[in-house]
Amino acid sequence: MLTTVDGVAGEVIALENWEIPIERAAQVVAAFATDKQKYLRALALVQDAAHRYRIDVVASQYVRLFRESHGHQRQFGSRGRCGALGRVAGQVRRLPA
């Protein structure tokens, strides 16, 4: 989640037996608080890491994947249709597979 092409936007602290290692977490926080270059390197990567979680970016990725998969027939039953029904203007209609 924090990894970018250029590195990690912060630092990942591994759990120890499903618990947060308090001393390790304190060391990480202290390192960012006292090492300005470490902090600035991580800060420079935050925008790129956060960008992938914007709803418009996520939605456009889903749309792109849908469009790329459109036309690739998937087999759902004997006629290659999923049999889904949709309601259009109050009428029930079979949706295309």
pLDDT recorded at residue 78? 45
Torsional class of 95: left (φ above 0), alpha (ψ -120 to 50), beta (otherwise)? beta
Amino acid making up residue 2: L
pLDDT recorded at residue 90? 52
Three-class DSSP category at 28: helix
- DSSP-H helix ranges across 1-97: 22-34, 36-51, 55-69
pLDDT at 13 over 90: yes
pLDDT recorded at residue 70? 76
Q: What is the pLDDT of residues 34-86, one digit of tens each?
A: 999 999 999 998 888 887 778 888 888 889 888 888 766 554 444 444 555 55
96 against 5, higher pLDDT: 5
Rounded CA gap, 1 and 53, in Å?
9
pLDDT at 88 over 60: no
Torsional class of 34: left (φ above 0), alpha (ψ -120 to 50), beta (otherwise)? alpha
pLDDT recorded at residue 53? 78
pLDDT recorded at residue 67? 86
